[in-house]
Amino acid sequence: MAMKSWMYSVLEAVQHEMQEDPAMTWIFELTPPVASNPGRPVINLETEFGRKRVVNTGIDENWMASAVLGAGLAGSKSATYIPYQGACMPFEVIQNVAGKLRSMTGGKASMPVVWIIEMTGQTPGFGGQHSCYEEDSYYMHIPGVRTVIPSTPYDAKGLMHAAIRSPDPVVYLYPAGLRTLTEDVPDEAYEVPLDKAAVRIEGSDLTIVSSGAGMPVALEAAETLAGEGASVEVIDLRVLKEMDTETIVNSVAKTKRLLTVDQSYYTLCPGAEVIARAVENVDGVKVKRVAFPDAPPPASPEMFLWMRPGPQQVVEAARAIL
Amino acid sequence: MAMKSWMYSVLEAVQHEMQEDPAMTWIFELTPPVASNPGRPVINLETEFGRKRVVNTGIDENWMASAVLGAGLAGSKSATYIPYQGACMPFEVIQNVAGKLRSMTGGKASMPVVWIIEMTGQTPGFGGQHSCYEEDSYYMHIPGVRTVIPSTPYDAKGLMHAAIRSPDPVVYLYPAGLRTLTEDVPDEAYEVPLDKAAVRIEGSDLTIVSSGAGMPVALEAAETLAGEGASVEVIDLRVLKEMDTETIVNSVAKTKRLLTVDQSYYTLCPGAEVIARAVENVDGVKVKRVAFPDAPPPASPEMFLWMRPGPQQVVEAARAIL
Amino acid sequence: MEHDRTIPQWETEDTPVSPARRGFLMLAAASGAAISVGRSAAAFTDVPFAAADLDDDSLIGMYRTILQIRWHERRQADEMLSNPDYRGYNHFYAGQEAVATGVCAALRNSGPREQLDLVYSSHRPSGHAIAKGVDIPKMVAEMDFRATGMNGGYGAEMHISDPDVGFIGADGMIGPAPVIASGSAFAFRARGSDQVAVVFAGDGNYAAPHFHSTLNNAKLLDLPLIYVCENNLYHQYAHYSLSCPHEDIASAAAAYGITAETVDGQDVVQVYNAAKRAVDRARAGNGPTFIEAKTYRYYNHWGAPGAKVGELGAFGYDPLAITHFRPEKELRAWMQRDPVDISRRILADWGVMDAARAAEIEDEVKAEIEAAFEWALSQPLCTPEDGLRHVFAEGTVPARQFG
Amino acid sequence: MEHDRTIPQWETEDTPVSPARRGFLMLAAASGAAISVGRSAAAFTDVPFAAADLDDDSLIGMYRTILQIRWHERRQADEMLSNPDYRGYNHFYAGQEAVATGVCAALRNSGPREQLDLVYSSHRPSGHAIAKGVDIPKMVAEMDFRATGMNGGYGAEMHISDPDVGFIGADGMIGPAPVIASGSAFAFRARGSDQVAVVFAGDGNYAAPHFHSTLNNAKLLDLPLIYVCENNLYHQYAHYSLSCPHEDIASAAAAYGITAETVDGQDVVQVYNAAKRAVDRARAGNGPTFIEAKTYRYYNHWGAPGAKVGELGAFGYDPLAITHFRPEKELRAWMQRDPVDISRRILADWGVMDAARAAEIEDEVKAEIEAAFEWALSQPLCTPEDGLRHVFAEGTVPARQFG
Ligand SMILES: Cc1ncc(C[n+]2csc(CCOP(=O)(O)OP(=O)(O)O)c2C)c(N)n1
Ligand SMILES: Cc1ncc(C[n+]2csc(CCOP(=O)(O)OP(=O)(O)O)c2C)c(N)n1
Ligand SMILES: [Mg+2]
Ligand SMILES: [Mg+2]
């Protein structure tokens, strides 16, 4: 156990699995699989496992994603790190091939593969393709692929272990804005389940549901609201597919108030699904949804920061239904 | 005015626009732009406008979609017909380039382009990639692109005119199962607006919202329910982006009961958005959602037909909230 | 685009000459002529005639495989044309049998999973599947959506798959399969295995952007990948010259520095020899090979129940299905070089089997296929609720169609 | 991968010889040597020396453009290193100026929209933009997110665009731009216009699957497309030999039957001549051209405010920013062949301008750039609510961040 950064936690999991399984491979593009952490040995997958198992070719995210799929079909666990600029380049092969292959083969295709798909840090000033946060919804609609989105280094490591060990293909979304988080993370391998949401704070007046880069925002808002005397339950979806309906419904049945918080575009953001599941199962729920408007993020920090949901907006939206 | 098939109605619109504008182009792959209709002249865009304006190269839907985008940026209206097998091949360029370009250029990029994206006829027996109905959700989450999904030959023609004339890029989803529909369609050009849902049947007890290939199912169910004395309002979304919230909210405010019907996979189907918008705006709504399960469609007709929502399932779901 | 769009060119002068195993055979003389193999063809005199060194059983095995593919299809076509209850469809492979057969004969098709060579097929998979050694009755059952079919009725023709024989399976899409296959090849290299990955792809696949990714990465990483391009001149309604500026698609691969050759896809011996060279190269760690097999399909792009015997557009074996975009004389010229006939003639010439044995084998195959259909069409249909299985490795997903 | 990974090869024997306009110039002698242009280079003696026929103003215009690009960047780097309020970043173009300048000098950059040649840029756009003739002050304002910037502050560096001069604009992605550019070329051909579409793309773009689509369709449809591959040897941290099996990327294009040449990207005259040939070819309906310009960037991949002068990894002009993956001697060797110096020397040799005039022009450019920054950095910031505009041609989208 030690304080670890996000990326160190993740690569620790990958390193462990690659040590356990000499067939496992890793494909990267811009980001060499290297991480360091104060007081810990540097992890460098390329030097540790060699350039046969850890490769970097050209700027072709569709090849990267397809290649790990082919490796998985050949019986080798495999993972790749897709940089955010290429986040949707492999969309078709994940949606149309990987997602359907187990079903189409009547269960014969096994795909122990992980696509780590970076989402931008939503850095103000970049705009458009370099600042968007939208992939959660696209990947979440795909059946046959488990889509997860950790929001803490602990979950990032545990979900990585679970993802690599799973015979199902996993889209592992990584909101790069969370790279600065650190927390106490065990050194040994452990799994965070691929189908469970986490209740981060328990409460009885209002349920806030978020995920990924929305979580720090939701938690900060909850703190403010707690300071005002509201008892807020905060749920981190953690898994977008299969979404953990039970945890949502149990909470909303108790609070009867639901606020979803997304950095994704409003229309069909994950919160839309959360709301729909909640009201299909619980009557008389008051709901509100905070999300990025249905507009590409402009580069200008003035425009962008106004549009991106922050803790203050969440607090105000919560007050409106409390 | 004459009884016209779906494809004849659509190509009539395209032919008209191409006659009006000698710069307009059309790119196709498998489906030659030819349509015939009893008692009407055959429409053949290729022979009428020549192989400079109407082209067919290889099986490369991303090129097709990107090429019309480039044509549009060069000031030529342009459209392409993407067969269903390639429905997500151009996803990235539509999502990441076309959808963002107007915003990223501060309004300077104009893209008078239409991507006709075929969705399968959901023919039983084909399975997987040849029977899926899911693109509505993927394309609907994209900002900056108008996504429409006609469900009648009349709308198909009018939306095509509007799409071609629009300076905004338009994803024009075409559920190929509707190809067998015919109806009275005017010969002259007319527009169906790119931002309005249609109330197909008025009623006061229950609102059913559907779109595309879900519409015949919804209408048949409404008929059965009417026979049982229920006053059902049926809304055809027609436009997925920007979704016409007003029509939905007005209806649900009246009926207080909402049933959504989708052929798309349950998680983040268009109905999820409809439900979320309804309950954000109207209190005390009873909701239900009918959709395809979160599973790739199996080939076996026995399995597939059981999974695909039909009128009977819709009727039963409606009864449960009536 | 200077392609000849009418009939294949018979070029007698540079016909490859096979030093026969137990005699001497001019294939050209036997079969009319070998198809032109283009400038990028390997020099046939430089390489051993691998097929000629095979034992009789293996050679007869190839002949038998060709017949299995052919008779599976004829039998299925009969079913489509006459049995109102039959529901299976197919992208027929008739005319192309020697390609799948020759390639798969050079592969490891049985044994433990971690030693099998893998085959990625196309949307036209039944020939590849049979050649790779799948269980034919189970495949027939799958194609008619039976619960006990090879894939439980989930996949049907365009998605048949049997990893137990290294048949990763069909792929209904144009584009992705070769790239994915290169990933399997990458895994073999990474884990130090001598397995090879083979992908069958049509001329239509050339234009897909994935073509570049596949070849570029195969070359850069020296992958044990064999790309078998079945150039049957058409993709659906379009001649390949509409989508490809090369006369030989193999030259596109050669540009990457990949060993590339064109072979007569009607001649199983030529195909086998090329495949054997490619497999040896890949197993030795010497990287990818691109094989363009010039071939032709006899039937329409696709056939399904409901067509009527003798009607234009039907896919009947006789009369021929000829639609406007494929000139009748082109089809007839290709049928003169039928892979069944050519393989039979070669084996006869090599003294491997006589006419009587050839006929006997054909009868055995017919009976085998007949039995496969009988078994398959008596199998149970699927259970509706099973549609919720096999989304993930474990469990089922919830039904949602009832609201 | 047999690429030389250390320094560019100076090959004196096959140096192209330019018959001078008003004298005779051995570029090799003047500049140390021209870079090797590889086997696929056009035979320079066969073609007219287009640049030599240009009038003095045009030649001086190129020199001025090169300086504008250079000084815009130096000025911006100063801003980044010293002004705590400055927020703009850049993918610096220093070292590559002759490429954009030479290419755009051969294009139609003003006039009615339907006659302009179109330029698609990369993620490294400021050089292309200036060469195509955008308003520099507005560009500078855009790069610092000003409301009155070229794109209203929505785009910033990676998405600058000005269709009024035919600058379709920057593209932050690797892959799509060339394919889209081919679509513009398709539109020109379809409407019978003699416009041409040009795309600038780095060596990194070679590996993208879109590369194949672009070249294949450009060839098949004979499109008026000019693909300018700026091979600066690296994409981010990777040498191009990691992603490309060709020594000359141009040979990949030649394989499609596309006219392809490599030029010395440091020499604006060579670049202009190649571009002029390509433009003439395209306007005459003779299809696409691929130009590979061998070049080099001096700075890091990218620079932004916050770096410190002289620190390793900073992008300062002097001392050099040299990180481990680019050998220092490689960078120094390339800097010996600076595009500013080369263009100045050529114009001097041709008698177009003397040293005094050259210095005068440089001072004019510096002053112009200074004024651009002064204007730009006094412009207003954006209004937050405007973020809801320009999603569609009309109207705004609703705010959703407040619930
Ligand atoms: C991405 C994609 N686009 C379109 C199709 C439709 N399609 C199915 S088969 C085919 C033609 C394939 O031709 P070719 O590769 O030459 O194989 P052949 O049918 O000749 O065996 C096409 C276009 C598809 N399956 N996938
Ligand atoms: C699809 C995609 N993947 C990754 C990136 C990240 N990226 C930005 S620039 C770059 C390198 C480009 O290299 P090159 O094309 O040689 O141009 P250069 O930077 O050398 O001018 C990469 C990988 C991107 N922009 N788009
Ligand atoms: Mg073909
Ligand atoms: Mg580069």
Q: Check whether B194 has a pLDDT greater than 60.
A: yes
Q: Is residue B192 part of a domain?
A: no
Q: Is residue A191 part of a domain?
A: no
Q: Check whether C31 has a pLDDT greater than 60.
A: no
Pocket test for ligand 2, best of D69, D73, D97, D174 (most atoms within 8 A of CB): D174
The torsion angle over the Cα atoms of residues B134, B137, B142 and B148, rounded to 10 degrees, is 90
Q: Check whether B26 has a pLDDT greater than 80.
A: yes
Single-letter amino acid, residue D124 = R
User: Which of these three, B151, B185, B219, is where a domain ends?
Assistant: B185
**Residue C355 burial by CB count (10 A; 0-12/13-18/19+): exposed, middle or buried?**
exposed
Residue D275's CB is within 10 A of a number of other CB atoms, namely: 28
CA-to-CA separations, C290 to C62, C211, D251, D327, in angstroms, rounded: 22, 12, 19, 37
Cα–Cα distance measured from residue A54 to residue A219, given in angstroms and rounded to the nearest whole number: 37
Q: Is residue B191 part of a domain?
A: no
pLDDT of residue A232: 98
Averaged over C214-225, what is the pLDDT? 98
CA-to-CA separations, B313 to B203, B227, C169, in angstroms, rounded: 20, 16, 35
Averaged over C343-358, what is the pLDDT? 96
What tokens does C327 get?
Answer: 């000139």
Cα–Cα distance measured from residue C225 to residue D382, given in angstroms and rounded to the nearest whole number: 54
Count how many Cα atoms sit within 13 Å of the Cα of residue D205 in the half-sphere of its side chain.
Answer: 32
Whether residue A159 is found in the same domain as residue A57: yes
The answer to whether residue B105 neighbours chain A at the CB level (below 8 Å) is no
User: H-type helices in chain A, by residue range?
Assistant: 6-20, 45-53, 61-73, 91-92, 99-104, 135-140, 153-165, 214-227, 245-255, 270-281, 301-307, 311-321
Q: Check whether D238 has a pLDDT greater than 60.
A: yes
Whether residue B145 is found in the same domain as residue B249: no
Whether residue A79 is found in the same domain as residue A176: yes
Percent share of chain C, pLDDT over 70: 84
Q: Is residue A312 part of a domain?
A: yes
Mean pLDDT of chain D: 87
pLDDT of residue C29: 27
Pocket test for ligand 1, best of C174, C199, C203, C229 (most atoms within 8 A of CB): C174
Check CB contact under 8 Å for C238 and B314.
no
Tell me the DSSP string of C330-359. HHHHHHTT-HHHHHHHHHHHTTS--HHHHH
Please check whether residue C386 is in contact with residue C152, taking contact to mean a CB–CB distance below 8 angstroms: yes
Q: Dump pLDDT digits (tens) for A181-240.
A: 999 999 999 999 999 999 999 999 999 999 999 999 999 999 999 999 999 999 999 999
Whether residue B84 is found in the same domain as residue B180: yes
Count how many Cα atoms sit within 13 Å of the Cα of residue A200 in the half-sphere of its side chain.
Answer: 26
Whether residue B224 is found in the same domain as residue B317: yes
Q: Is residue B26 part of a domain?
A: yes
Averaged over D50-77, what is the pLDDT? 94
Whether residue B215 is found in the same domain as residue B135: no
Q: Dump pLDDT digits (tens) for C242-279.
A: 999 999 999 999 999 999 999 999 999 999 999 999 99
Please check whether residue D369 is in contact with residue D72, taking contact to mean a CB–CB distance below 8 angstroms: yes
Whether residue A223 is found in the same domain as residue A128: no
pLDDT of residue A206: 98
Residue A300's CB is within 10 A of a number of other CB atoms, namely: 32
Whether residue A150 is found in the same domain as residue A30: yes
Which of C212, C141, A125, C328 is CA-nearest to residue D149? A125
Query: Range with the lowest mean pLDDT among A160-169, D146-155, D162-171, D234-243?
Result: D234-243
- Residues measured by CB to lie within 5 Å of ligand 4, the ion: D 202-203, 232, 235
Residues of B in contact with D186 (CB under 8 A): 25, 55, 67, 70-71
What 3 state SS string does B12-38 have? HHHHHHHHHCCCCEEEECCCCCEECCC
Q: Dump pLDDT digits (tens) for D254-305.
A: 999 999 999 999 999 999 999 999 999 999 999 999 999 999 999 888 888 8
Q: Is residue B96 part of a domain?
A: yes
Mean pLDDT of chain C: 87
3-state secondary structure of D387: helix
Q: Dump pLDDT digits (tens) for B243-284.
A: 999 999 999 999 999 999 999 999 999 999 999 999 999 999
pLDDT of residue C312: 52
Highest mean pLDDT among A33-37, A63-67, C18-22: A63-67
What CATH number does residue B18 fall under? 3.40.50.970
Instruction: Decide which of 3.40.30.10, 3.40.47.10, 3.40.50.720, 3.40.50.970 is the CATH code for C34-301+324-388.
Output: 3.40.50.970
Could you tell me which residues are beta bridge partners of residue D263? Answer: D293
Whether residue B160 is found in the same domain as residue B75: yes
Cα–Cα distance measured from residue A99 to residue A136, given in angstroms and rounded to the nearest whole number: 15
C225-231 vs C289-294, strand pairing mode? parallel
Q: Is residue A193 part of a domain?
A: no
Q: Which residues line ligand 2 (CB under 6 A)?
A: A 30, 59, 83, 85-86, 89; D 123-124, 172-175, 202-205, 232, 234-236, 301
Could you tell me which residues are beta bridge partners of residue D292? Answer: D229, D262
Q: Check whether C318 has a pLDDT greater than 60.
A: no
Please check whether residue D229 is in contact with residue D207, taking contact to mean a CB–CB distance below 8 angstroms: no
Averaged over B89-95, what is the pLDDT? 98
Task: At A259, give phi and psi (nearest 5°).
Answer: -125, 125
Q: Check whether C81 has a pLDDT greater than 80.
A: yes
Looking at the 3D structure of chain A, how many domains does it have? Answer: 2
Given CA atoms B274, B279, B285, B286 in this order, what sign does their dihedral have? positive
Which range of residues forms the domain containing residue A304?
A: 198-321
Q: CA nearest B277 in D: which residue?
A: D403
pLDDT of residue C314: 55
Q: Check whether C219 has a pLDDT greater than 90.
A: yes
- The domain ranges of chain D are 34-301+324-388
Q: Dump pLDDT digits (tens) for A265-289.
A: 999 999 999 999 999 999 999 999 9
Q: Check whether B221 has a pLDDT greater than 60.
A: yes
pLDDT of residue D318: 34
Indicate which residue's Cα is closest to atom 7 of ligand 2: D174
Predicted TM-score (pTM) above 0.90: yes
Check CB contact under 8 Å for C153 and A57.
no
pLDDT band at C214 (very low <50, low <70, confident <90, very high): very high
Instruction: State how far residue D188 is from chain A, nearest Cα, in angstroms.
Output: 28
Averaged over C161-190, what is the pLDDT? 97
Task: At C346, give phi and psi (nearest 5°).
Answer: -65, -50
Residue D348's CB is within 10 A of a number of other CB atoms, namely: 16
Terminal-residue alpha carbon distance, chain B? 40
DSSP state of D9: P
DSSP state of D173: S
Q: Is residue A309 part of a domain?
A: yes
Whether residue A149 is found in the same domain as residue A206: no
What CATH number does residue A292 fall under? 3.40.50.920
What tokens does D372 get?
Answer: 């651009």
CA-to-CA separations, C173 to B50, B59, C217, D148, in angstroms, rounded: 30, 10, 20, 48
The answer to whether residue C336 neighbours chain A at the CB level (below 8 Å) is no
Indicate which residue's Cα is closest to atom 19 of ligand 1: C235
Whether residue B155 is found in the same domain as residue B221: no
Single-letter amino acid, residue B214 = G
**Residue the block writes with tokens 């001392």:** D319
Averaged over D152-178, what is the pLDDT? 97
